[in-house]
Amino acid sequence: MKTIYIIMLTASILTACNNNVSKSGTETITCKYQPKIEGGKLSAEVMHQLGQVSDPQVSPDGNTVLYGVTYTSIELNKRNRELFTVAIDGSNRRQITHSPNSESNAIWLDGGNKIAFLYDGQIWTMNPDGADRKQISKYQNGIEGFKFSPDDKKVMFVSRVKIKNTASEQYPDLDKTTGRIIDNLMYKHWDEWTTSVPHPFIACFNGKGITNIYDILEGEPYESPLNPFGGVEQLDWSPDSKTIAYTCRKKTGKAYTMSTNSDIFLYNLETKEVKNLTEDNGGYDTNPRFSPDGKYIAWLSMERDGYESDKNRLMISEIATGNVDYITEDLDCDVDNFCLAGNTGDILFTACVKGTTQIFLASGKAKGNTPKDRSIVQLTGGQHDYASVAFTDSCLIALRHSMSSPNEIFRLDPQCILEPVNISNENNDILSQITMGKVEEHLITTVDGKQMLTRVIYPPNFDPAKKYPALLFCQGGPQSAVSQFWSTRWNFQVMAAHDYIVVAPNRRGVPGFGTAWKEQISGDYGGLNMLDYLTAIDALAKEPYVDEARLGCTGPSYGGFSVYWLAGHHDRRFKAFWAHAGIFNTESQYLETEEMWFANWDLGGPFWDKSNKTAQKSFADSPHRFVDKWDTPIAISHGELDFRILASQGMMAFNAAQLRDIPSRMLIYPDENHWILKPQNAVLFQREFFRWFDKWLK
């Protein structure tokens, strides 16, 4: 039996994708709506026709990969995820589900003889060919994710538990009231009112169904895994199936809003004893993983409480002694994901370095006999991001994407010497009809003499003798990587296909260029990173193929803040702006947002603290204070379900522009959150985006 270990993206890879076309061997299933590929260029409609590959799971024998592909019907305004299998050599690719709703969380079970998956909020099983499909759970509150124990006799699943009564429950005679009674903070989070939290449940599995269900956090108002992005990757089984490790932030209300201090807890199924493994650490501790021999447990850890973008460190502890080692202490970057490799002591992980996400190996055989005595080697390179990695006795299996290609599954040789081979080939037919723009790296000298990597994406069939309009892209986060990402909203190749040159700087604050570069932005929102943006666009505007009279600027979230700020400071560089879900008034944002640790760390504290110089500088630099200097057309988009940055921020900016008679437009979505996720809403976004910039830049 070969041993397989898998790491997956925890923060989730966006699987908003296409379809109208899915393939099963040589069979093609075609929906009614099928946009044309005009002139070999990528459009919003064609982009959503691409299948989004996700969550590869290698079979126990190491011969087959199970994965999902999400398809989109723009006409039906719906997405659907189907399951596929493919041999690791790329042969025998087949679609094994054909369902009206999505399958997710698919894993191998019973040594590879069965597949378990989620469908309509319940756990199902089937044969590897899709036959003998059976529902094995009927849990009334629904299931959001699950993991079977190594002995296949138990299952741990995530379901939501109610923590707050409604007003009508408090006053039964007012059964039609819609009012919400709120007594504490964290009453809303990202895009939902906080009335329930996820809990891990344990159940017995007899091969046909689950029984003896109980909540290991019974009566506790805490969340595990962590909202809103945490999933089953924040839970794990010990190899003997007797202990689970779970991630939990045991705080509520105001204490929750102020702290990022989550911990790893060990729960013994026999004694019900709970042990806090990370009590001495003040920041995030997440994603526990037991070693296959059960002697060690590893996890991701941030040191400082309240700093959600602190260095994400790889830690490992010997369970018998409790000794903890900091594996990536000498590596000046964040660990995204990891896995413990067999009993060799090796650890595979992914990390963003210099604008790409690559695979690394921390060897357990390097310098000594303890986990800390290991060398770290970067295994992969190239202009792409690796989103997950697994390895067998014969190869690595990885999920990969770039600015020019959505996710596909690749096979790599163990030493990563040979060229990776695409084994999923989901999008070859469509991509073969499209000419992508060239992606080029430029090193630009900043105002303080540092070298800033800036990517430039050129239109397809670029003609250096012509002059093109250019769009400056401002990244969100603010500490999110400008790596080789593929996005269905901020897609640089779609922008380039509309004959724009795209300028994407790795300005101060983005990861991948060391801790000092990433952390500089905190407390300096209107400072060096804004000068980085202006430096980048000024440098590209000097190129003979860029028309400096036709420059635009756009970005989401912190990028939206950046657009608002630049609108008051750009000295007529730009001819049009588009801001999505951005902060316009930092004072109101401080009291509107829910995760106060973010505002406290990045802005320095509350605006009423006059003795706090960092906070006073942050609020003095609020974009709304410079509206008197706005002189350029601006478009604004926002979702009304966005509780991180309320839609009122966008409405204030639009109202300000209108009152100052500045050409402006607002695209508001009553049913979207911080992102635009519904298919037709996403296409509308693209159409309005280019209608706006084409009006002012062409």
Catalytic residues: 557, 642, 674
Cα 595 to Cα 162, 186, 195, 579, 582, distances in angstroms: 21, 8, 16, 22, 16
Strands 296-301, 468-473: pairing kind: unpaired
Q: What is d(CA 200, CA 213) in angstroms, rounded to the nearest whole number?
A: 10
Task: Indicate the SS3 state at residue 576.
Answer: strand
Q: Nearest Cα to 649, choosing from 624, 667, 619?
A: 624
HSE-CB of 293 using CA atoms within 13 angstroms? 11
CA torsion angle 253 257 262 266 (round to 10): 10
What residues contact residue 535 under an 8 Å CB cut-off, 6+ apart?
Answer: 444, 445, 446, 447, 452, 505
For tokens 């049913």, the residue is: 671
CA gap 437, 491 in Å, rounded: 12
Q: Write down the residue that tokens 């719906």 correspond to.
A: 78
Q: Report the C-alpha gap between 214 and 161 in whole angstroms.
A: 12
Of 87, 88, 122, which Cα lies nearest the Cα of 103?
122
Separation of alpha carbons 370 and 419, rounded Å: 33
What is the phi/psi pair of residue 530, to 5°? -70, -40
- b/e for 540-570, b at 16 or more Cβ within 10 A? bbebebbbbebbbbbbbbbbbbbbbbbbbbb
Here the tokens at position 326 are 């900091």
DSSP string covering 445-467, please?
A: E-TTS-EEEEEEEPPTT--TTS-
Q: Tokens for 201? A: 């449940």
Contact 338, 386 (CB under 8 A): no
Q: Rounded distance, CA 643 to CA 658, Å?
A: 25
The single residue listed with the structure tokens 């509150």 is: 141
